[in-house]
Amino acid sequence: MKKVIENGNVAVLYSPSYGAGWYTWNSSRSEDGEDALELIFDPALVELVQKKNSPDCDNETGFIHLIERRAEEICPSGYFGGASTLDIEWIPIGTEFRIHEYDGYESIDYKEKLDWMKA
């Protein structure tokens, strides 16, 4: 699986807004989970999100449409309601993380920053 890497960090797409999760709402729609993983790492999607989120962007709606079309190519049975709020988290290569969702709002949890309880 291809990923965008800059300065030792990997681009990870997620939807930090209430409504629809990008990864979390699609991980169960994918037969093996690979489609959903590709949705968070795909270089073409990362580039589109960077353009959509650019201060110079004068056609956000057009980029959202392009993001949804690319996502449908990756995960044909997916739901892409979170496309309008996609953002990029730059995570150091090799860092273990998970994407957590509450009411559509996704956040990224880092394994080394989680406090685990032991019985």
Locate tokens 């406090």: which residue? 115
**Per-residue pLDDT reduced to its tens digit, 94-118:** 999 999 999 889 999 998 877 766 6
Q: Which residues pair with 99 in a beta bridge?
A: 108
pLDDT at res. 46: 97
Q: State whether residue 10 is helix, strand or coil.
A: strand
pLDDT at res. 37: 87
3-state secondary structure 71-113: HHHHCCCCCCHHHHHCEEEEEECCCCEEEEEECCEEEEEEHHH
Answer yes or no: are the C-beta atoms of 15 and 104 closer than 8 Å.
yes
**Per-residue pLDDT reduced to its tens digit, 42-86:** 999 999 999 998 988 888 889 999 999 999 999 888 899 899 999
pLDDT at res. 34: 73
pLDDT at res. 20: 85
Structure tokens at 44: 């073409």
pTM for this prediction: 0.88
Answer yes or no: are the C-beta atoms of 68 and 26 closer than 8 Å.
no
Q: How far apart are CA 23 and CA 28, in angstroms?
A: 9
Count of domains forming the chain: 1
- Using pLDDT thresholds of 50, 70 and 90, give the confidence band for residue 40: very high
119 domain-assigned: no
CA-based max dimension of the chain: 54
- Using pLDDT thresholds of 50, 70 and 90, give the confidence band for residue 31: low
- Structural domain boundaries enclosing 104: 5-113
pLDDT at res. 97: 94
pLDDT at res. 11: 98
Amino acid, res. 63: F
Q: How far apart are CA 21 and CA 19, in angstroms?
A: 7
